[in-house]
Amino acid sequence: MPRILDGAAIAAAIKQEVAEEVKLLAALGIRPGLAVVLVGHVAASEIYVRGKAQTCAELGIFSEVVTPPEDVTTQEMLDLVASLNDRDDIDGILIQLPLPAQVDAKALLDTILPAKDVDGLHPVNAGLLQAGRPALAPCTPAGVIEILKRSGIAISGRHAVVVGRSDLVGKPAAILLLHQNATVTICHSKTQKLGELTRQADILVAAIGRPGFITPEMVSPGATIIDVGINRIASREEFDRFFPGDQKREATFAKRGSVIVGDVHPKAFELAGAYTPVPGGVGPLTIAMLMANTVRAAKMRRGL
């Protein structure tokens, strides 16, 4: 039977470690602070932001949610970020994406001070990460590494194949795996003979944003599969394609009208030596690593 990698348990351990660091900083008169900027009223984003604020409270981190209106301009957002950059009680700034069409997201993210860029998206942090120097790494890829390490899965010398090349997940995940001495192949939607490459993977990271994209014939038996995808499916046809006979998910589908599936077809997990489930795998690590990044930013800003 494949081993299920429990992301929720690993996230809980990391949050406990963060809470201990927060206590140590408190003894020095320091309280890490996180500002989350949420524009407008997107239901999913509001849920994510509430989760982040709640976790901050649980761990002793100061948090502030800033909620500009839906019609906010780029200049108004730039001014807001500048004010957060200037605040000493704010160590981390996170812009909840997506932003309204009229806001220049790239210009906005580039305005955040690299020292407060807890999402790890600023070009300075991306460059430091590539160079292997101390930097704030994107939360989800950092979480992928934590899952592998804390689950005792060897990375050094293994062939890791990353499917997806986004700035937020695919590229930084590949760099972090490379820093752990894996041999890394990056694939994407335009890769020719993709299945031939994914079947070579000892560690397969799926981060392409397509439900069930990685099928059983694309997986080498015994591989470790890290499924980063979170895709909501709401049609009966799609449900039957991914979860035929799954009574637990059937009940969820009947109640909510949708279920979550990753970028890996559930049947592909049967071939794995170990895998992260969706939900309950990589997802919980994202918030845990955001908390860790906020504390790290607080320490780095003060030369600790």
pLDDT tens sequence across 80-96: 999 999 999 999 999 99
DSSP H/E element including 105: helix 105-111
pLDDT recorded at residue 97:
87
Whether 52 is a known active-site residue: answer yes
Which of the four pLDDT bands, split at 50, 70 and 90, describes residue 235?
A: very high
Give the list of residues 6+ apart from residue 167 with CB closer than 8 angstroms, or none: 121, 126, 138
pLDDT recorded at residue 45:
79
Checking 16-19 for CB contacts under 8 A at 24+ apart, the result is 17/292, 18/59, 18/61, 18/288, 18/291, 18/292, 18/295, 19/58, 19/59, 19/60
Upstream peptide bond of 279 is cis (omega within 30 degrees of 0):
yes
In a domain, 36, yes or no: yes
pLDDT recorded at residue 42:
77
Same-domain status, 174 and 227: yes
Same-domain status, 147 and 230: yes
pLDDT recorded at residue 48:
85
In a domain, 161, yes or no: yes
In a domain, 292, yes or no: no
Whether 96 is a known active-site residue: answer yes
pLDDT at 43 over 80: no
In a domain, 268, yes or no: yes
Same-domain status, 39 and 79: yes
Residue 224's φ and ψ, nearest 5 degrees, are -90, 125
Percent of the chain with pLDDT over 90: 94
Same-domain status, 143 and 88: no
Greater pLDDT, 44 or 193: 193
Number of domains in the chain: 2
In a domain, 223, yes or no: yes
Please state, in angstroms and rounded to a whole number, the distance separating the CA atoms of residues 106 and 103. 9
Same-domain status, 98 and 161: no
Which of the four pLDDT bands, split at 50, 70 and 90, describes residue 281?
A: very high
pLDDT recorded at residue 41:
81
Q: Which domain holds residue 95?
A: 31-115
Q: Which candidate in 52, 171, 202, 227 is catalytic?
A: 52
State pTM to two decimals: 0.94
Which CATH number characterizes residue 45's domain? Answer: 3.40.50.10860
Same-domain status, 155 and 266: yes
Same-domain status, 99 and 173: no
Same-domain status, 202 and 98: no
Same-domain status, 187 and 76: no
Tens digits of per-residue pLDDT, 78-137? Answer: 999 999 999 999 999 999 988 999 999 999 999 999 999 999 999 999 999 999 999 999
Same-domain status, 74 and 204: no
In a domain, 17, yes or no: no
In a domain, 26, yes or no: no
Q: Which candidate in 15, 96, 116, 117 is catalytic?
A: 96
Same-domain status, 229 and 268: yes
In a domain, 37, yes or no: yes
Which of the four pLDDT bands, split at 50, 70 and 90, describes residue 284?
A: very high
Give mean pLDDT, residues 283-292: 96
Which of the four pLDDT bands, split at 50, 70 and 90, describes residue 214?
A: very high
Helix-strand-coil percent breakdown of the chain, rounded to 5? 45, 15, 40
Cβ-count burial 75-91 (b if 16+ within 10 Å, e if not): eebbebbeebeeeeebb
Same-domain status, 202 and 78: no
Please state, in angstroms and rounded to a whole number, the distance separating the CA atoms of residues 287 and 304. 23
The least confident of 36-45, 119-128, 161-170 is 36-45
Which CATH number characterizes residue 164's domain? Answer: 3.40.50.720
Whether 119 is a known active-site residue: answer yes
Q: Which candidate in 91, 117, 119, 263 is catalytic?
A: 119
